[in-house]
Each structure stands twice: as structure tokens, then as C-alpha cells.
Structure 1
Amino acid sequence: MKKLNLIPFYSSSWPFLVASFIFQPIAANGADITEQLHRQIDKSVVQQSTNQADTLMRIGQQQQASGKADKAIESWLQALSIYHAIGDLNAQGLIYDYLGRGYVQLSRYKEAEDAIRRRLAIARDTHDFQSQIFALNNIGTLLLQQGEPTASLQTLTEALEIARHVKNLEGQGLSLSNLGLANARLGNYNKAIKLYENALTFRRQVRDPIGEANTLNNLGETYLAAGDYQGTIGTYGSALRIAKYSGDRVNELRAIDGLVTAHGSVGRYERAFDLLQQRLTLAQELQNRQEELKSFESYAQLYEQIGNFPTARNFYERAITVAKMLEDSKQEVRLIDRLTQMIQKANLGN
């Protein structure tokens, strides 16, 4: 920040000048009054616009929470237009964050990436290093989602460098975890495991149980891909315990899924079915139809794996019923296709 050089007054007449200034009234002309009124009106208009945009932003949050991401995006775009008109950069950055999440929810990944890159540009303009770290991590994750692990590595490495430069422990944990994910996608399992272990150190330092459970789930997935059964079970088990304790349902469900796959891969079907029962109960407690559908499908796949086709068919049909309730035609078609393939396989076996 530029230092101001204040010029001292040495004239002996200065005290009298001050006195005369205080007691002598200043004549106000019409132009001065008009300008002052305009400033007051301008402030009032800006405040009204801000209030309107803030309301639209909150409405968008409520719409997203109720599963109406498309409506949420409409509200946020209206808010963004207002924030842009009044020049509120910080609010624009926040809206781009929300838009990124909304587009991801709708699987509109290119639009999500564009929104988050705009968020990154604002963070750079305002020298907001923390927002830069998180924006770069979001872009890196989206690039992975779009099958671009090499570009993702470059983006995530930049995020890690910034986090290290500003000594942001949370950002370092997040960036290391995502770098592990990118390396795992490239088949660099040993490097990925080391990155995850390093990430866990930071996530524990900042006492971030959700981040820790997420990294453990990533690590479990990597052990599974590398064929390390013991590592898979132990890591997913740790993720499950932490997620349960912290009430992190997303990572709890993910850990159960990993454990079901791991136990099923070595023939420990009784344990796998116990875990699936936990998963279904949790989905029903949450009244989450989408997770209920996934539970039925997992049951169907496991019964199909052990050759119990009638029970597998029953669970596929239950999953299809839920897909119809959700009006999710893509899921419905996919599940019907899976069921048809299984029936054909069962008929060939007979």
C-alpha cells in the first residue's frame, strides 16, 4: 500500500485560519445540493440491487438443496447479472462457486469448468489466495471427471504450490489428496498412496474429519485397484468409522460401497451382505431415494455374482421401480438392460 506523505503547516496564521473556517458559514449552491442528492440516490439504488441479488442467491441455495439445480442456476444467473452491474467482485466470485456446483449436479461439466475458471480469475484479481487454491482444485477435479488426468495434474500442482507458499494447511491437504486421485487415474498407484498418506497428515492437523474420510476412501480405492486386499479393508474401515462419528453420510456410504466390493472380490459374501443391509437402512433413514436405488442395485449385483438369479432379479426390479419414481429414464433403461442381460445369462446356464 502506498505511504501517504503528510505535509506539515509552519505558518503562524494557521490557528486563525482554522477558527475562521469553523465560524464562517459556507454558501451552498444548487449544483452542490443536486450532486449530494444524486449520491444519496445512487447509494439507495445500489443497496436495493444488492438486497435483490442477495435474495436471489438465497433462493438458489434453497432450490439446490431441494434438488432443483436447474432452477437454482436460473436464480444465480439473475443474481450474477445484478452483482456485475453494481461491480461487486466478491459476490460475483461466490456466485460462480455456486454455479459450478449446480452445473456439476446436472453433469454439465464444461459449463461448470467455465464458471469455476471465472471464479479463479476473480480470486486472482482480488489476490484471494485461499479461493485460488480451492478453485484450482475444483478445476483439477473437473478435468479428471472429463478424462484429462495430465491437465488435471498441472492444475493441482499449481494449487499445491500456492498453498505451500501461503502456508495454507487445509489447501495443502486438499491439493495432495486430489494429486493422489490424479496419479491413481494414471495408474501410478505407489505415488498416489504416498500422496494420500501425506495429505492425511495435513487433514488431521486441521482437524478436518470429512476431508480425512474422503482421502481415506480415495486411498482405499487405490489399494483395491492395486490388488492390496488388507490395505483396502483397513483403509475403508477407518473411513467408515470417522464418517459415522462425524455424521458424514456421503463418505459413510462411499466407504460401505468400497468394503462391499472388497469383501465380495474375495468371497466374503456374508460380510458384504451385512454391509449392504447397513447401506439400505441408512438410505431409508435419510429418505434418499437415489441411494436406496443404489443399494438395491448393489444387492442385485452381489446376488448375480453368487449365481442367485431369482433374488438378483427381485432386487433389479425394485431398483427399476425406484428409478420410475424418480422419473430417471436413463437409470431405468440402464437397469432394464442389466436385468435383461442377467436373464439371458441365466437361461444359457440352464
Structure 2
Amino acid sequence: MRQQLVFPKHKVNIIYVPAIFYRQVLLHSFLLFSFLLIPIAANAVDITQQLHRPLNSSVGRQSRDEADSLLNIAEQQYASGYANKTIASCLRALELYHLIGDLKAQGLTYNLLAKAYIQLGSLKEAEDALRRGLAIARDTKDFQSQVFVLNNIGTFLLQEGEATAAGQTVEDALSIAHDVKNIEGEGLSLSNLGLVAARLRDYNKAIKLYENALLFRRQTGDTIGEANTLNNLGDAYLASRNYQDTIASYGEAMRLAKTNRDRTNELRAIDGLVTAHSAVGRYERAFDLLEQRLALAKELQNLREELKSFESYAQLYKQQGNYSTARNFYERAIILARTLEDSKQEVQLLDQLTKMLQKKG
């Protein structure tokens, strides 16, 4: 959400809020997608086991094995930042799951497909995948999945700037979650309603919704959900210019995520802390956090997260007027964008670099 600004107590004239942070928060539906699999993968069982269903024909079994293998590969490709390859694997898996008539597996695949499309900024395709997943959940009367899919659609609509429609969609999800006594779904829905309030710049309401969401998430021991909501809370405090609570919320999210090896929320918390500390002139701390971020991205062997780290470094050095070092990091990010075959990201980075050099000249 572009409402991310800065926080109080220190008077600062120049505020560093990197573009990469805006995009991560705006497109942080991928954080919510992790919850979409919870109804099926609550015990973190191997995905092949999750999808296994006995078939009568050897052809059917062969198709299932191939489809399950493709979906496993797609998960790995997505985790490594290869969105285009993820899409290709998902589409082939979908063909096979359609062939054998496995609706639950199709729902899982559509959800992953939507994540990959969102990562590439292909929002029309992402919306189509989301709505197909919702149709499957309704056809199978899977109310628990409906809660999570509706939340993801609500997040998507929020990205598209349709806050009212997003709020209505998430309210529907909250109502279903309440009716079926799905505490986990209630926590997620309240957290997303906080996002809607924040988009409408009602930060006080957003903070209250996030705090309420935390109560539900802590009841279920949903540490990933708790860290996600803490990051949302940090966003709201940041937009409200409440420096102290901003750093406290992101810091708590980072500690919780690190303890649970929840790398997605850990990276997001680091990004928030980089923005917060930079805003009050604590550049040494910001660079220390970026060093941690880059090390984590390399540990995960996630080229896309490495790219984001390089871009954040570039933004921070540019903010300090160190254009030569900023240029070096932009160029490293551009190389990774080409490696990932992400032409849109490459063009954006080249544009940022060109504008910086023109300003320097």
C-alpha cells in the first residue's frame, strides 16, 4: 500500500522510503497465499500425499503421478523466484488434474498459479485463477477454503484500488468464518479488513482491527498469521508516523518469524525496519539489516529476493548521494532480472538507474 510513510518523535527532512518496499506491501497478497493451503496442509504433509486419491486405471495413476510431480516442481520453482517456469508447470498440471477430475488438486494448483501471475504483475490472469479456485471451493462446498480464497480475492481487489469491493469480499469471508467457527479464518479476515481500512487512510481503525486479529491468531497458535498481522500493524504505525510502535511491531514480527523459520515474514519485517530506521537517519542500522536480508536471500537461493535486496541497497545509497555504489547495485539487480527473464522488472530498474544518472549529471 502506498500509504506507507514515516513516523514521529524525530524530525527528519529527507525520508527514505524505497520503491521496492511500496511494491512489496502493495503486492503482499503472496503473504496471504500461504494461508490458502492451510485447510489442506495443516500438518505440512508432502504435497503428493495431500493430493493422493486411489484411481482404478493405470493411466489415471500415471497421470496423477505426473501431475503431482509437476505441482511439486512448480512449488520449488516459485520458491526460487522463477514465476514464468512456475506458470508453465502449473498449467500442465492443471490439464492432468482436469483429466482425472480431481477438484481439490485443481484448487491447489490455481492458487499457486495466481501467486506466480501476481509476482509477474499479470493481474488479469491472477484474478482469473483466483476466481476459478473460488468456484471450485463453492462447487465442493468447502467453506474453509472459501474463507481463504475470498480473502485472497479481497487482497487482489485492494491492489487494484477497489477498496470498497475488497472490504465487501473480506466481510463475506469473515461471515463464513464466523458461521463455521473457523477462528483461523476470522483472524485472517480481520487482518485483511485492517488492510482495507489502511488503504482508506483510516489508520486508527486499521490498528484496532489488527490488534483484534492478533487475539484470534494467538488463540490458534498461528505464528505465521501473527507475524503477518504484526507486519501489517507496523505498516499502519509507519503511515501514522508513530516511530516507536513502528519499530516495535516490525521487530516483534521479525523475531517471531526468525524463530519459526518463516522467511517470507522475516524478509518483509526487515524491509519495514530498513524503511523505518532510514526515515529517522539510522543508516548504519538500515545497512546492517540489508546485509541480513541479502544473506537470507542467498541462503534461500532465491534470486528474486536477492534482486530485491540489491534494489534496496541501490535506493539507500542513492538517498545518501553515493551514486557510484548505487549504480553498481542497480546493475547487479538488472542482471538478476534478466536471469529471471522478468522483462518488466528489468525495464523498471533501467528506468530508475537512468533517472538517477540524469539527476547526477
Name the TM-score class by shorter chain: 0.7 to 0.9
Name 1:329's counterpart in structure 2: 343
- Superposed CA deviations along residues 123-171 of structure 1, whole A, max 9, x for unmatched, are 3333321111111111111111222111110000010011111111100
Instruction: Provide the C-alpha distance between the structure 2 equivalents of 1:55 and 1:167, rounded to a whole number of angstroms.
Output: 37
How many residues are paired up?
301
Instruction: Provide the C-alpha distance between the structure 1 equivalents of 2:331 and 2:110, rounded to a whole number of angstroms.
Output: 40
The 1:323–1:97 alpha-carbon spacing in structure 2 relative to 1, beyond 3 Å, is closer
Name 1:248's counterpart in structure 2: 262
- Structure 2 residue 154 is matched with structure 1 residue 143: no
Instruction: Provide the C-alpha distance between the structure 2 equivalents of 1:91 and 1:211, rounded to a whole number of angstroms.
Output: 24
Instruction: Provide the C-alpha distance between the structure 2 equivalents of 1:141 and 1:194, rounded to a whole number of angstroms.
Output: 19
Instruction: Provide the C-alpha distance between the structure 2 equivalents of 1:332 and 1:117, rounded to a whole number of angstroms.
Output: 30
Instruction: Provide the C-alpha distance between the structure 2 equivalents of 1:322 and 1:121, rounded to a whole number of angstroms.
Output: 37
Name 1:74's counterpart in structure 2: 91
Alignment of 1:160-171 (within 5 A): 160-171=174-185
Name 1:172's counterpart in structure 2: 186
Instruction: Provide the C-alpha distance between the structure 2 equivalents of 1:254 and 1:90, rounded to a whole number of angstroms.
Output: 30
CA contact (8 A) 2:63 2:100 kept: no
Measured after TM superposition, the shift of residue 233 of structure 1 is 0.5
Segments of 4+ moved more than 6 angstroms:
none
CA contact (8 A) 1:137 1:155 kept: yes
- Structure 2 residue 223 is matched with structure 1 residue 209: yes
Match of 1:60 among 71, 76, 82: 71
Report the more deviating stretch, 329-338 or 290-299.
329-338
Instruction: Provide the C-alpha distance between the structure 2 equivalents of 1:125 and 1:322, rounded to a whole number of angstroms.
Output: 42
The 1:91–1:305 alpha-carbon spacing in structure 2 relative to 1, beyond 3 Å, is closer
SS at match of 1:127: coil
Unpaired runs of 5+ residues, structure 2, are: 1-54
Unpaired runs of 5+ residues, structure 1, are: 1-42
Measured after TM superposition, the shift of residue 218 of structure 1 is 1.0
Kindly report the root-mean-square deviation, in angstroms, between the aligned alpha carbons of the 2 structures. Answer: 2.1
Name 1:83's counterpart in structure 2: 100
Measured after TM superposition, the shift of residue 341 of structure 1 is 1.6
- Structure 2 residue 352 is matched with structure 1 residue 338: yes
Seq. identity, % = 63
Q: Which amino acid aligns with 2:273?
A: L
The 1:321–1:52 alpha-carbon spacing in structure 2 relative to 1, beyond 3 Å, is closer
Instruction: Provide the C-alpha distance between the structure 2 equivalents of 1:344 and 1:98, rounded to a whole number of angstroms.
Output: 40
The 1:290–1:89 alpha-carbon spacing in structure 2 relative to 1, beyond 3 Å, is closer
SS at match of 2:181: coil
Measured after TM superposition, the shift of residue 293 of structure 1 is 1.8
Match of 1:130 among 141, 144, 153: 144
- Superposed CA deviations along residues 259-280 of structure 1, whole A, max 9, x for unmatched, are 1111111111111111111112
Alignment of 1:22-41 (within 5 A): none
SS at match of 2:294: helix
Q: Which amino acid aligns with 1:214?
A: N
The 1:153–1:315 alpha-carbon spacing in structure 2 relative to 1, beyond 3 Å, is same
